[in-house]
Structure 1
Amino acid sequence: MSVLRRVIVLAAALTIPLVALPAANAAPGAADPQPAHSGDIPSQPASTNELIEAYQGAIERLRSFGMNPFLYPTASAFCVGGSTLGLAPALGVAMPGPWPKTTLAIPGLDLTAAKAGQTLFTFVPYGLGPDSANTSGMRVAWVNLGTGRSGIAEMGPLGDIVRAMIPPSVPAEIRPAAEQAIQQFFFAALPVGGVRAVPVDTGSGTVLAAVYGTVDNGGKSCFFLPTVGITAVA
């Protein structure tokens, strides 16, 4: 087996639980989506081809929402139950702005989480429980290869992104409905627990980034090794 094929198989083995991604998402109209559970992970050993197909399926699902997965996945050992070594797989994702691209217009709402010249970096783990009060720990280190600009940004919970998309001018009585509508869009593409994101003013050009850090999973600190990606920002 070639080195490249071995890398693909390893990546697939880490991310095969993502084939159960729809089970982790909110059902349409659900106000309180349930998190994914490690019990959803298939218990039967998968063949090499099945692993590769599962990994590619997870990647294509993210791409269908305009998300650019990083070059390879990451994982945290002894983080969840029901899998070998308690591995919790995860992907890094970049969404160059403006994102999301939609024709839907709602008066008073800017439905772009990443503006032009920005990149929305997102950390997407699988199998983690609902977020605790501690949502710190994940970071993205980035560099714009064209301009030389660089930095390190702290990532926060997805709720921060949702709230930032709703301007203060929106009346308080309709803010919950607006937040729920935006959350349903994100939950259609992403698991519930442990997702972290941050919009960064990277500027236009080719941006290289690494996402890494820790996520609290039910009182257990899960460390995720760096995953690296590259994306073009218009």
Structure 2
Amino acid sequence: MILLRRLTTLTAIATGAAALTLAAPGIAAAAPKAVPAAPAAPAPSAQTGPGDLFAGYRAVVEGLRTFGIDPFLYPAAAPFCSGTGTLGLVPAVAGAVPGPWPRTTVAIPGLDPAAVKAGQVLFTFVPYGLGPDGTNGTGMNVAWINLANGRSGVTAMGSISDVVRTMVPTEIPTEIRPLAERAVHDLFATFPAGGVRAVPVDTGSGTVLAVVFGTVDNGGKSCFFLPTVGLTSVR
């Protein structure tokens, strides 16, 4: 019952924040720290139908699992977002991976090269069926609460370019950075065309309940993705 009440409260926070975003689109989200990971799916085309979109969505889910990222409990979707399919529906999957991640990195004495540290969670959002990203990478958010320590917040997610700049620790020596960055670039190369968002969050250890929601630009059209919920265990 307590978990249900917290889930209801968290969803209400997400819905309220989403309503504020829709009511005042000129308000920009704070610059995120960002980070991601994911899958390979066939590129959507003008003839893409609902079956193709959801086949692509399933490929995204499997891709997230391959990289050690747990998909959220159910998919997100944005109606009237594309010019194809039923109601212009665009599916998406959110996911989370607790640190340390990635677990196969270059060993550097005295330095932790993990992009996501212990006590952090990397939240990701991967839509399927959007065109390439424009200049606006804001709009998606994650509302979260750690059920063990009571920490909570609403954190803005960032685009892939935000992620690339922040994922590899700045203290890694220049001559070693290409090795540390390789996993990041390999992951990004597998993403669908656009709209991918991510952010690492300092949640602390415990069970983290999260809701991902918000807007993504699709060729000048603002697409609102309904909230999706996930539960992650953090060491």
**Residue aligning to 1:73:** 75
3-state DSSP class of the match of 1:123?
A: strand
Q: Once the 2 structures are TM-superposed, how far is the Cα of residue 56 of structure 1 from its aligned partner? A: 5.8
**Hey, what's the Cα distance between the residues in 2 that align with 1:172 and 1:183?**
16
Which residue of the other structure, out of 44, 47, 53, is the alignment partner of 1:37?
A: 44
Instruction: Give the whole-Å Cα distance in 1 for the aligned partners of 2:111 and 2:44.
Output: 33
Give distance in 2, aligned partners of 1:103 and 1:231: 22
Query: Which residue does 2:132 correspond to in 1?
Result: 130
Name the residue aligned to 1:153: 155
Give ranges in structure 1 of 5+ residues lacking alignment: 1-20, 25-35
Deviations 1:46-78 (A, max 9, x none): 9xxxx7x98665433311110010000011011
Q: In the aligned structure 1, how far is the partner of 2:110 from the partner of 2:190? A: 24
Q: Assess if the C-alpha contact under 8 Å between 2:97 and 2:121 holds in 1.
A: yes
Query: What's the counterpart of residue 40 of structure 2?
Result: 22
Q: Deviations over 1:112-139 (max 9, x none)?
A: 2211000011111111111111111111
Distance in structure 2 (CA, Å) of the matches to 1:193 and 1:222: 12
State the AA in 1 paired with 2:76.
T
Identity %, equivalent residues: 60
Gaps of 5+ in 2: 1-38
Residues of 2 paired with 1:151 and 1:197: CA distance?
A: 15
In 1, Cα distance between the equivalents of 2:64 and 2:203?
A: 21
Deviations along 1:171-213, whole A, 9 cap, x unmatched? 88997x6697344322255324101111100000000000000
Aligned length: 196
Report the RMSD for the aligned CA atoms in angstroms: 3.1
- Tell me the CA shift for residue 104 of structure 1: 3.9
Which one is further off, 87-96 or 182-191? 182-191
Q: What is the rounded CA distance, in whole Å, between the counterparts of 2:90 and 2:226 in structure 1?
A: 11
Q: 1:202 to 1:187 in 2, by over 3 A?
A: same
Query: 1-side partners of 2:159 and 2:45: how far apart?
Result: 21
The aligned residue for residue 207 of structure 2 is 206
**Per-residue deviation at 1:88?**
0.8
Residues 141-180 of structure 1: matches in 2 within 5 Å?
141-168=143-170
Q: Which runs of 4 or more aligned residues in structure 1 lie more than 6 Å from their structure 2 counterparts after TM superposition?
A: 106-109, 170-175
Task: Measure the CA separation in 1 of the matches of 2:120 and 2:101.
Answer: 9
Shift in alpha-carbon separation, 1:66–1:216, aligned structure 2, 3 A: same
* Contact 1:38-1:82 within 8 A present in 2 as well: no
Q: Work out which structure has the larger RCO, using CA pairs closer than 8 Å and 6 or more positions apart in sequence.
A: 2
- In 1, the alpha carbon distance for the partners of 2:174 and 2:105 equals 25
- Separation (CA, whole Å) in 1 of partners of 2:124 and 2:205: 18
Q: Is the 8 A contact 1:113 1:120 kept in 2?
A: no
> Secondary structure of 1:22's partner?
coil
Cα shift readout 1:79-105 (whole Å, capped 9, x = no counterpart) = 123221111100110011111111444
CA contact (8 A) 1:70 1:93 kept: yes
TM-score w.r.t. the length of structure 1 is: 0.71
Shift of 1:151: 0.5
Residue 157 to residue 141, structure 1, CA distance change in 2 (3 Å): same
TM-score under structure 2 normalisation? 0.71
